[in-house]
Amino acid sequence: MTELLDGRPLGAGLRDVVEPATGAVLGRVGLASTGDVDRACREAAAAQPAWAATGFEERAGVLRRAGTLFESRAADVQEWLVREAGSVPAKAGVETHVAAQECYEAAALASRPLGDILPSALPRLSLARRSPVGVVGVIAPFNFPLILAIRAVAPALAVGNAVVLKPDPRTAVGGGFAIAALLREAGLPDGLLHVLPGGADVGAELVAHPATRVIAFTGSTAAGRAVAELAGRHLKRVHLELGGNSALVVLPDADLDLAVSAGAWGSYLHSGQICMTAGRHLVHASIADEYVERLAAHADALPVGDPYTAKVALGPLIDAGQRDKVHRLVEATVGDGSRLAAGGTYDGLFYRPTVLDRVGADAPAYQQEIFGPVAPVVRFSTEDEAVALAADSEYGLSLGILTGDAMRGLALAERIPTGIVHVNDQTVNDEAVAPFGGVRDSGTGSRAGGGSNADAYTDLRWITVRGTIAPYPF
């Protein structure tokens, strides 16, 4: 486990790696300064041309070996994700599995066609060809630190770029140094991946630095706005994966036992610290009382505690600031007239899974992204009302619709603007082969998964070739 930890000091010194479940210090990592960003970007820019000129088989080989290392070293990485990020083991397992798949998909990306042959009105060969952008800046959050970093790092490297990665300092190992260690072991040449944990000043310097041409940011909508504004001033291409307040619509013909189980998973996985979390349960009035009763029973029965030492369903929230934000929203919503059906209490950073019933559409826990284990339940009477409620949000990330008639669910989904839709599933899903991204305040559309990765991390050039110099009248 310790070999994945990089305790070398950076410009801002060292930072303790704190286990949120216990407060124990697991080690120390370097904390970056803005000067470190300049050095890393310059080194990345110097190393990138040789990597871009490397044959696709070699680049693909590095990514394939990285994928096998994420599988063979999964236990080591998962231990960090459990202890550093507060993940339950099953969630940590999902992260290492998806990380391996992201590397395999990136390896395949390296050998994809580079462009198209275009028609031309003139006697020449006309091509559209993809080229690596150069240096990609990646800013990743704490909640799924491994997945949300590697899904940008791996494809950016595969198509010939260098990467400077700024993980959240609270999860610098699982979201940064573990990735660097395994890619180094897989044969990635020096200078192509730099890991710089740091604060907002480090992120701003990364966005503004002349060497970075594309920024991949995952985080809150408020922080994403700041990143986009700064990127715009420097004419940078920026891909934003932001917040969410996803609706789970439960129609009256849904299997109630399965619907409640799906709803509990969608709201309580990783203590609700997921952008795709089911943040609003929209339930038909005819089944709402029973749904709330069963969901509250699920919530009361879920064990909460230290995921490293006990078999629990929910671990800790990441820190006291996040816990206090969650609790303020719960208390404000109850004060607004909603009924607390389960939870609403905490012990340290362990927040009980919570059910809020009869929530109004203007209540704080309905309008805002909670990022905690809270399931607000709102009743609707007609499908038109369900559509209006689901669409009445500044966010547009994920949508789940539970029904006995899948085609009815698909038709309903067409009326609700989101980047992701799951009929007869809850809102939290991720696959390396699928496009991922939100609309509205949830982001700037898909930049991860499948062909989106090629669009995200390359520039498209127009190239023409003539057999002889073209004649002109001048």
Active site residues: 241, 275
* Nearest by Cα to 447 from 202, 148, 246, 180: 148
* Nearest by Cα to 178 from 90, 79, 91: 79
Under a CB-based contact definition with an 8 Å cutoff, are residues 265 and 402 in contact?
no
Under a CB-based contact definition with an 8 Å cutoff, are residues 237 and 215 in contact?
yes
Give the Cα separation of 85 and 307 in Å (integer). 10
Residue reference for tokens 């003539």: 466
Under a CB-based contact definition with an 8 Å cutoff, are residues 17 and 30 in contact?
no
Q: What angle do CA 375, 298, 337 make, to 5 degrees?
A: 35
DSSP 303-328: -BS-TTTS--SB---S-HHHHHHHHH
Under a CB-based contact definition with an 8 Å cutoff, are residues 428 and 400 in contact?
no
Give the CA distances from residue 207 to residues 82, 124, 234, 260, in Å, rounded to whole numbers and listed in that order.
30, 39, 8, 43
Surface-to-core class of residue 53, CB atoms within 10 Å of its CB (0-12 exposed, 13-18 middle, 19+ buried) = exposed
Please report how the helices 383-391 and 406-413 are oriented relative to each other, as an axis angle in degrees rounded to 10.
Answer: 50
Torsion of CA 372, 375, 378, 383, to 10 degrees: 100
